[in-house]
Structure 1
Amino acid sequence: MKSPWIIAFAVVAVVHLVLNGAGAQPWESISKCLLAPLLLAWVIEQKGPRLLAAALVFCFLGDLLLEFDDLFIVGMAAFAVAHLCFIRFFVSRGAIGRLARKPWLVAPFVIAGIAMIAYGWSGLDDALEPVVPIYAALLVGTAVTALATDIRAGIGGLLFLVSDGIILLGEAGRIDKDATGTGLAIMATYIAAIFLLTSGILDREKVTIAAGPGFDPTVRTDCWPVFPATKT
């Protein structure tokens, strides 16, 4: 947490929220597009997983593309790829096996996703109708696989679902998408989401690496997250 990159991320996050509340363009958009790259620099500094780095690259592209109204769906596609990277990482760390043993973890997220789509469906543009269910499924996938892998990352996945859910309701006309409070809610939850996902993954990977080559990261044991060598 003493990394200059994460300190810069925190500063830019606060500045962005202030600019967002003030509606100060273009600085609001510029600061938003700095968030994911700063986390990416942190991941590279910490020698984090490539899938996490890729996810943050696509988050940056999504942030950039969503600044252009005509590229909204392309921006969604970039975020969809980011979620595929997150899901792929969590699956590689045994998320599916843990979810199979605790299927009840999935139900609340699936219900929330379906409810969100159902509530906003009639207000969506025709162009969005085919892609929203797919994107919602990816959001739910990130949330449940993250939660099955790491609590902190799981909270991040949940906040990502909340953030994009607010965007959906705004696009569907269920809430005022141009209201100051809406923009602040979207960005506050998004900033928290990418930070918690990133920091949760990095912390878990450090434990896995420190535990040595004989430690299977896909199996949660009674000594997790204490290193096997230090268990008493």
Structure 2
Amino acid sequence: MDILETHAYDRRQRQNMSCALFLSLVPFFLASAAFLFLWAHDSPPPSVVAAGVKAAPVLLLAAMVLGWNGWRSLGGVAGGLLLSAVGDCCLVWPELFIYGMGAFAAAHLLFSLAFLTARYLPRRPSSSHSVLLYLLVFGLGAAFYVYIYPFLQKAPDSALLTPGVGVYVGLITLMANLAIRTGQVATILGSVSFLVSDSVLALQVFKVIASIKHGQAAVMVTYYLAQMLIAVGDVLVVEDQDDFSKWKRS
């Protein structure tokens, strides 16, 4: 097989992989559309059904990642998605907010650990611009926490909530920086979308701003988009690693 035939074969393989990946995302698209159709403008009423509908898209993403990458991903992105689904369920009940935040914090920790594995290692070393970007992300996270701090102090359970939110902000900014470090476009965009989603949510939940029109939709669309991009990024990075290994052996 000459080099032209090899390139043509690789192109067909990538096209087939893209089609298969898209088809595996169809259940997620349908489930997220169902949730947004039902509760795009208002938070879902506290119920087991609402919790199931809200968590279903992320559970389907976890199943997709497991299907593509196997059980090893339970210690990484798939595990983070499952913990996120737990957080989704908790946040349906306002009194379980702190537990939901804890579940999402654990999810970000698993995402971060996944981004530190060898398959996510960037092909190029970090430049000075990358270091400045890391510092910028951490700086924005710290500034956001300082900004909402007075409002956290007014919350009924501020003694637990104030340090808890601080830890959460630290973990999500760490996750975003490690995502940037990977150099994977889908992973980076997913982390940015997660930051946007959580920022909009925090501003409304902690009454920093009045509830905005379509605020629920903005939070959930960016949230589902974030989880999808992180899941897709995990699938793609494994496929890219396999292709790179084949290229090295050839």
Normalised by the shorter chain, which TM-score bucket? 0.7 to 0.9
Question: Unpaired segments of 5 or more residues in structure 1?
Answer: 214-226
Asked whether 1:42 is paired with 2:64, we answer yes
TM-score (norm 2): 0.78
Match of 1:140 in 2: 173
Question: Unpaired segments of 5 or more residues in structure 2?
Answer: 1-18
Structure-to-structure mapping, 1:1-232, within 5 angstroms: 1-2=19-20, 4-23=23-42, 25=45, 29-48=51-70, 49-50=73-74, 51-92=76-117, 93-94=120-121, 98-99=125-126, 102-124=130-152, 125=155, 126=158, 127-149=160-182, 150-177=184-211, 179-212=212-245, 227-228=247-248
Superposition RMSD in Å: 2.3
Cα 1:16/1:98, change in 2 over 3 Å: farther
TM-score (norm 1): 0.83
Aligned length: 215
8 Å contact from structure 2 (residues 41, 214) kept in 1: no
> Alpha-carbon deviation of 1:16?
1.5
Shifted more, 41-50 versus 58-67: the winner is 41-50
**Structure with the higher helix share, 1 or 2:** 2
> Alpha-carbon deviation of 1:115?
2.2
> Alpha-carbon deviation of 1:43?
1.0
Distance in 1 of aligned mates of 2:224 and 2:126: 26
SS in 2 for 1:77: helix
> Alpha-carbon deviation of 1:40?
1.1
Distance in 2 of aligned mates of 1:16 and 1:28: 9
> Alpha-carbon deviation of 1:13?
1.3
| CA deviation vs aligned residue, 1:3-31 (integer Å, no higher than 9, x gap) | 55410101111221222225464665432
Shifted more, 76-85 versus 11-20: the winner is 11-20
Q: Which has the larger radius of gyration?
A: 2
Distance in 1 of aligned mates of 2:24 and 2:134: 34
